[in-house]
Structure 1
Amino acid sequence: MALVANKVICITGSSRGIGRACALDFVKHGASALILHYLGDSETEQEIQTLRDEVEREGAQVVTVAGDIADAATSIKIVEAGTKAFGRIDVLVSNAGICPFAEFLTMPHATWERTRQVNLDGSFYIVQAVANQMKNQSPPGGSIIGISSISALVGGELQCHYTPTKAGILSLMQSCAVALGKHGIRANAILPGTIATDINKEDLADEKKREYTVNRTVLKRLGAPDDISGPVVFLASDLAKYVTGASLLVDGGLFVNLQ
């Protein structure tokens, strides 16, 4: 079933991890065009090229846009490049994010600033820019999915700078659902649990912590990026056409497992 047939999809932070899995799943489910944002350093340049090749082999069109999502100008550039190529944007996945683990009491303020700028400011900028495009296109409307985190609901000793940004993304999606519903735009949040990606690779290299995290989940495994991309595609599709302002926890049962 082509859940997102002929839709134009925009994904920030798409070169690896959850963003990359979303790109591949959207194409599998019928998306016709992808606007793929990435940071633009040497590592992500290589990653985005292999993703582009893979997507184009599946028959979808691709535009790639490099830039720091913490810079508001990057979001404008993403929307301009996407609409120039494809004329509209049907779905936004606001995914770009960082999590430099750090002790709270000794955390440099620059770490707080950078984490907030990328995760929360960047999400605001891209959501605002894409929402304006969705409002003005014909026909208007679309689906916006913010990648929040289980960390929006619980604390983490080394995440005192990160968890507030993810709570902010959850709140942003709730308020945007209210603000944008009259324009036919839905806004929802996905809250991943512990997903094995580059963002937590060093943290999970600690075997004791990895084992503890696995055992805390009801399903007894860490999440994979494609565990998140499926729910993202669902929220983007017409199967979720009456879903807005919602938050979907995708954590393998980590949150509910108190014993």
Structure 2
Amino acid sequence: MVLHYLGDEATTSEVHSLKGEIEQSSQAKVVVVSGDIAEPATSAKIVEAAVNAFGRIDVLVSNAGICPFAEFLTMPHATWELTRQVNLDGSFYVTQAVANQMKSQTPQGGSIIGISSISALVGGELQCHYTPTKAGILSLMQSCAVALGKYNIRANAILPGTIATDINKEDLSDIAKREYMIKRTALGRLGTPDDIAGPVVFLASDLAKYVTGASLLVDGGLFVNLQ
């Protein structure tokens, strides 16, 4: 397994802690790679590290993303640029790099999973920069499914709802907003990263060997709960 992280002080300790947990619980070999996913060279470094350690790549989970909430009319262009570069450009770069490896290896093929968002389907007042990137990831996976199927490469998207992570930690610290978001779900709770893990494993495995170009909404019933 290869874990990619930005390389800043905050994430370095977290990723090495996660590395230790995985190695201890599963005895799996874990390699960590740092770098800004918005830079194409980082994706090349990820592929190189994976091939050097394991000889091939079977699964990619493209998960890097940021969402600095901002008003549309006063949003600095730098905020738009950074969000697009990390979320969409980064997803494109790593998908392209990994797909080239999956095409060249023997046996050929693999599974690519792009983490999109329910925000690909709906709007958000403070997310005019974020929602287009997530819609872009959904579209990227759909087109890659068509482009890469002949190489036995599957490409699918997962669309999480409100998942309690660092990306929305500050926003959900507002108790009233947190309760509002909980009440909007059919299951009556926010999601956790573990709720996304199962769908990822499914799409990565041979249980989904005839699934490509699909989008899986994992939102606790948020999208359908209109009444």
TM > 0.5 fold call = yes
CA distance in 1: counterparts of 2:115 and 2:123, whole angstroms: 17
Q: Deviations over 1:8-64 (max 9, x none)?
A: xxxxxxxxxxxxxxxxxxxxxxxxxx0110000111110011111111112000111
**Aligned positions of 1:1-259 closer than 5 A:** 34-57=1-24, 58-259=26-227
CA distance in 2: counterparts of 1:100 and 1:63, whole angstroms: 29
Q: Deviations over 1:227-246 (max 9, x none)?
A: 00100000000000000000
Q: Secondary structure at the match of 2:31?
A: strand
CA distance in 1: counterparts of 2:173 and 2:11, whole angstroms: 22
Structure 1 residue 207, shift from structure 2 partner? 1.2
CA distance in 2: counterparts of 1:250 and 1:159, whole angstroms: 19
Q: Secondary structure at the match of 2:84?
A: helix
Q: Secondary structure at the match of 1:61?
A: coil
Structure 1 residue 225, shift from structure 2 partner? 0.4
Counterpart of 1:234, as a letter, is F
Q: Deviations over 1:79-105 (max 9, x none)?
A: 001101110000000000000000000
Give 5+ residue unaligned stretches, structure 1.
1-33
- Superposition CA RMSD, Å: 0.4
Q: Secondary structure at the match of 2:147?
A: helix
Counterpart of 2:178, as a letter, is R
Q: Secondary structure at the match of 1:52?
A: helix
Q: Deviations over 1:124-161 (max 9, x none)?
A: 00000000000000001000000000000000000000
Higher relative contact order (CA 8 A, sep 6+): 1
CA distance in 2: counterparts of 1:202 and 1:85, whole angstroms: 37
CA distance in 1: counterparts of 2:191 and 2:95, whole angstroms: 26
Q: Secondary structure at the match of 1:191?
A: strand
CA distance in 2: counterparts of 1:252 and 1:152, whole angstroms: 16
Q: Secondary structure at the match of 2:125?
A: coil
Q: Secondary structure at the match of 1:195?
A: coil
CA distance in 2: counterparts of 1:198 and 1:56, whole angstroms: 24
Higher mean C-alpha deviation, range 220-229 or range 201-210: 201-210
CA distance in 1: counterparts of 2:195 and 2:212, whole angstroms: 21
CA distance in 1: counterparts of 2:195 and 2:49, whole angstroms: 29
Counterpart of 1:35, as a letter, is V
Tell me which stretches of 4 or more aligned residues in structure 1 moved more than 2 Å.
none
Structure 1 residue 206, shift from structure 2 partner? 1.1
Aligned length: 226
